[in-house]
Amino acid sequence: AEGQDWPVSEALPAEARQFDFWVGEWDVDLRIRQDDLTWADEVRSVASIYPILRGKAVLELWSDAREDGIKGYSLRYFDTARDEWVLWLNWPGPDRSGSSSLAGTFRHGRGEFFSRADASVSRYTFSDIGPNSLRWDDAFSQDGGATWTNNWIMEFTRRADRAWLVAGEPAPTFHTGERCSAPPFRSYEFLAGRQEGQVEVGGSGPVTITGHRVLDGCAVLTFAGAEGDPETAYAFSHWTWNTYAERFELTTLTSGANTPVRMFYGSVGASGETDLVLIEQVDGTRVADRFRVARADDGRVTWVHETPEGGGWRAVWQATVQPVEGR
């Protein structure tokens, strides 16, 4: 990715560029540990890695060559308040979806990222990084990191310098859309495609929102900006039905240099099946902001980000858009 050709905000810290090497399209050999402790090449996949939000983050769509095989998504960005990389992932199974996260740093050209739950620790490692190859492996510990077990190794070989998400065309990881076929997964599919309109609160002027169905029907990704393309968008979102919590889940990230991921959870609103209302929670309890997406009978979609005020809600950003046919 040296000499990259995507826009990068000058406000971003230098650390935000540490995953630039990964941008592009990759052939992946997934090696799995066998019972005799040897490693065998078992799955061939393609990983498509996109720069998004003016270089703020990178987006991964990972697709097993088999239609019913492994599909994965990740979003990763450098969190300036935490001084580390934060990774959000969703690797769904049939009618099973929900996000998890890891965090970590690069040191001496090696990236290590961890998630912890009491004594259970997961570690993802990026190493052996070159212009056209790299290695990713997982590790798990049940004793707080004293001992580790590895199950997977992914060996990447570059096939192209860039990968592209095009509105109206199938995105990587999407086939028939039947992996997640339960009714809640259909509730936000109207966000797919290209929608154009105007910002009404929190700014002014035209806005384009493009949505892409991914993970074979388990999620929708959206980008909001002047053109709605991933590279220059100022807002990103990942929509899914979290089957573990049995509620809708929204992951949002904006292009601001110091803004973190925000997580919203919720249900279908009182006005009907096309009105999604999701509440941000801090520390799992305190209500912070609210996110609403409502579709009118004529197809217009209103996006509203609200904050509590005086016992009610005040919009801090709002836009109304109309689907654009054939784009």
| pLDDT computed for residue 3 by the predictor | 45
- The DSSP output letter for 143 is S
Return the bridge partners of 32, or none. Answer: 40, 152
Q: Cα angle vertex 24, ends 20, 30, to 5°? A: 105
| pLDDT computed for residue 266 by the predictor | 87
Return the bridge partners of 133, or none. Answer: 157
Q: 275 with 294: CB under 8 angstroms?
A: yes
| pLDDT computed for residue 275 by the predictor | 65
**Would residue 159 be called left, alpha or beta, if left means φ above 0 and alpha means ψ between -120 and 50 degrees?**
alpha
* CA-wise closest residue to 73 among 242, 214, 212, 217: 214
| pLDDT computed for residue 326 by the predictor | 58
**Helix or strand or coil: residue 16?**
helix
Distance CA 218, CA 94 (A): 9
Given the DSSP bridges, would you call strands 110-117 and 286-295 parallel, antiparallel or unpaired?
Answer: unpaired
| pLDDT computed for residue 285 by the predictor | 60
| Segment-wise mean pLDDT, segments of 10 residues, the chain, 327 residues | 76 96 96 90 94 98 90 98 98 96 96 94 96 96 93 95 89 94 92 96 96 97 96 97 94 96 78 64 70 91 93 94 81
| Torsion over CA: 66, 191, 20, 84 (sign) | negative
| pLDDT computed for residue 273 by the predictor | 43
| pLDDT computed for residue 231 by the predictor | 96
Q: What proportions of the chain, in percent to the nearest 5, are helix, strand and coil?
A: 5, 55, 40
Return the bridge partners of 76, or none. Answer: 58, 87
